[in-house]
Amino acid sequence: MSSTTPAASADDIPRHGWTAVPRDASVIFDKKPMIEPSILKVSDAQFPGDDPVVNKVQHYAKEHLSEQTYNHSMRVYHWGYSIIKDQFPDHASKLSMSTWALACLLHDIGTTHDNLRATLLSFEFYGGFLALNLTKQCGASEVQAEAVAEAIIRHQDLGTVGTITFLGQVIQLATIYDNMGGNPGLINEVTRLDVNKAFPRRGWSGCFAKTIREENGLKPWAHTTHLGEDDFPDGVVNNSLMADVDDWGL
């Protein structure tokens, strides 16, 4: 990467989550068994809201996302925060939580009513381009903005072959945990309940499944279909891990 992006220093790679890791999360946990997760409540986690770039993007997200999608984005931040701290301590000491926050806040920006209809592109790709421009406009460096865009574009690029950025892998783990209850052992039960209380789902499972089906109807070629045109939304609706909290906030 350094040969093509001379502006990126050696420290920029781990700071903004560019480190290459296996695309298949099971490979990661086969090599390094999953650690028993600690209790990490919202009040104990650090959200970098005092970072001017994050502050501007957070205001943008609140203005443009539905409350359900915004709450999902914040839950993803906290799931990922816990995953990084517990499972990847070496990365935790180097990764910018501001970069992580930006990726979480904007990862579903392509799913809004207007953005789904503004382009023929799949929502993750369009969302990545929107995030790239927005974060740079808000003051992010090129390497940070591109890290966020890369993670957003690939956050549903699940598979078993190849590599992905560390930032992209964590956002996959956190979104699949929130949307489908994947890898439930990643998050402590106290943490699960506390985060859902702070950022209630308000029927998120049905809401997101509806959005998936809406995009697939508008764009039969959508990238989301690689997860299963019916299997994926059905899996979201039938998220048994979050069934007991899905109606919180309604």
Chain segment 190-243, per-residue pLDDT in tens: 999 999 999 999 999 999 999 999 999 999 999 999 999 999 999 999 999 999
- Per cent of the chain over pLDDT 70 is 97
* In the predicted structure, residue 2 carries a pLDDT above the cut 60: no
Copy the structure tokens of residue 90.
């070496």
Q: Which pLDDT tens digit goes with each residue over 61-82? A: 999 999 999 999 999 999 999 9
End-to-end CA distance of the chain: 47
Q: Cα–Cα distance between 201 and 225 in angstroms, integer? A: 24
Per-residue model confidence (pLDDT) at position 117: 97
Residue 49 CB neighbours (<10 A): 11
Copy the structure tokens of residue 169.
């892998």
Per-residue model confidence (pLDDT) at position 5: 55
Coil, strand or helix: which one is 20?
strand
Per-residue model confidence (pLDDT) at position 8: 81
Per-residue model confidence (pLDDT) at position 1: 39
pLDDT bin (cut points 50, 70, 90) of residue 149 is: very high
Residue 52 is given by DSSP the state H
What value does the mean pLDDT take over residues 8-14?
92
**Helices H / strands E in the chain, number of each:** 13, 2
* In the predicted structure, residue 120 carries a pLDDT above the cut 90: yes
What value does the mean pLDDT take over residues 138-155?
98
Asked if 144 contacts 99 with a C-beta cutoff of 8 angstroms, the reply is yes
Q: Which pLDDT tens digit goes with each residue over 184-195? A: 999 999 999 999
Q: Which pLDDT tens digit goes with each residue over 29-61? A: 999 999 999 999 999 998 999 999 999 999 999
Q: Which residues pair with 40 in a beta bridge?
A: none
Mean pLDDT of the chain: 96
Asked if 137 contacts 153 with a C-beta cutoff of 8 angstroms, the reply is no
Q: Cα–Cα distance between 242 and 133 in angstroms, integer? A: 34
Q: Cα–Cα distance between 103 and 152 in angstroms, integer? A: 7
- H or E segment at 22? strand 20-22
What value does the mean pLDDT take over residues 4-24?
87
Q: Cα–Cα distance between 128 and 146 in angstroms, integer? A: 9
User: Helical H runs in 24-138?
Assistant: 25-31, 52-64, 67-87, 89-92, 97-106, 113-117, 123-137
- Per cent of the chain over pLDDT 90 is 95
Q: What is the pTM of this model?
A: 0.96
Q: Which residue shows structure tokens 């997200």? A: 61
Q: Which pLDDT tens digit goes with each residue over 108-119? A: 999 999 999 999
In order of their start, the domains of the chain are: 12-24+51-242 (1.10.3210)
126-132-136 Cα angle (round to 5): 150
